[in-house]
Structure formats: C-alpha cells, structure tokens
Amino acid sequence: MPFTPFHFGFGVFIFAICPFIDITAILIGTVIIDIEGVLYLLFKIGVEHGYTHSLLGVMIYLIPCTFFSWVFYKLLEKITNKKFRFSWLYSGVSSLLGLVSHVIFDGSLYPEMMIFYPFSQVQGHIYGIMSYQTVIIILTSMFALGAIIVFVKSLLRFKFEKKLLISYNLILSTELEKALPNES
C-alpha cells in the first residue's frame, strides 16, 4: 500500500511515449486495484493482495476505469469550455495497460499474490523476479523520464504553434496589403 503512488511512474512514461494513450485512464488503472489494500488496512475486509491482484481479477476494473476517464473529460469540457478527444477503445487499452502493469510489479514484490487466479492458486509465481529496490528504481525513473519527455514535447508544440501563428499572420498581412488599393 505505501508503494501505491510509485505505480504512477509506469502510466506517465507510457503516456509520454505513446501518443494514443489516455493519461487519465492509465493513471487510474495503475492504482485503482489498491482499493483492495485500503479495504483491508482500514476495515480488515478481505486481504491486502487478494483476487483482484491477479491478471483476470483486475479486469473487473476495466470498465470502471474507462468510464471514470470519460466522466473526467466530460467534466473538464464543461469547466474549460473546450473539446477533448475521447476514444473508448484507446481509453480501454490505456486502462488495461495500467491495470496489468500493477499486477506485474506487485507480483514481483509480494509472495502471497496469485497472479493466475482462478486458474492457479499457487502463490508468488513471479515473486522476486525484481527486487524491491529494482522496482522502485524502474518506476521512479519511468516517472522522471516520462515527465521530461512530456515537458519537452509540450515546449516543442508550443514553439511550433507560435511559429505557425506568426507565419499565418504574415501571410494574412501580405494578402491584405495586396487587396488594399494602391495609394501612390
């Protein structure tokens, strides 16, 4: 559970390198299954890494994740009065990537996890494939690298749009000059 925020690193990095990824859906996907951990730690319901911390179990969050993302964009459109692109397919794929990544990273950290449940109830299938430190380093680096890529991409887009606006204004003023009657 204290580990939960580290999962965001995967979402940020994948969003940075794949243009079709829905950032909201993937970020929700990377952390939502720790609801199981919250329920256990606060109310002693279930176990910390139970049925939803498995490759099949995690699928119960696929539709909610995608739906939350859609709701988020709808709200954002209302608040900002701007149109946002939304695709159920891309958001679904983004949610799926986030959800599965959580199971894989957690699976290597917690020996009690049954990632192939209900097909196999063997625990710790992939436990130890990466050490705790390695997972922390991977996810932190993904977060940092992803954030840098997103920043550079936004900067380049801003500069390109500015350049485009300047050339558009230049063309417009030349056209206007041509259209105006010659005073001499």
Which amino acid, one-letter code, is at 88?
W
Closest CA to 65 of 105, 87, 94: 94
Regarding 22 and contact with Zn ion (CB under 5 A), the answer is no
Closer by beta carbon to Zn ion, 70 or else 110: 110
Chain position carrying tokens 């500015």: 162
Q: 8-44 burial by CB neighbour count: b if 16+ within 10 A, else e?
A: bbbbbbbbbeeeebbbbbbbbbbbbbbebbeebeeee
Closer by beta carbon to Zn ion, 21 or else 109: 109
By CB under 5 A, the residues from 35 to 94 that bind Zn ion are none
| Euclidean distance between CA atoms 53 and 40, whole angstroms | 13
Q: Binder to Zn ion among 106, 115, 135, 146 (CB under 5 A)?
A: 106
Q: Binder to Zn ion among 34, 57, 66, 69 (CB under 5 A)?
A: 34
Give the 3-state secondary structure of residue 151: helix
Binding segment (CB under 5 A) for Zn ion, from list 20-28, 81-89, 99-107, 167-175: 99-107
Give the nearest distance from C-beta 53 to Zn ion in angstroms: 6
Give the nearest distance from C-beta 99 to Zn ion in angstroms: 11
Q: By the criterion CB under 5 A, which residues form the site for Zn ion? A: 34, 106
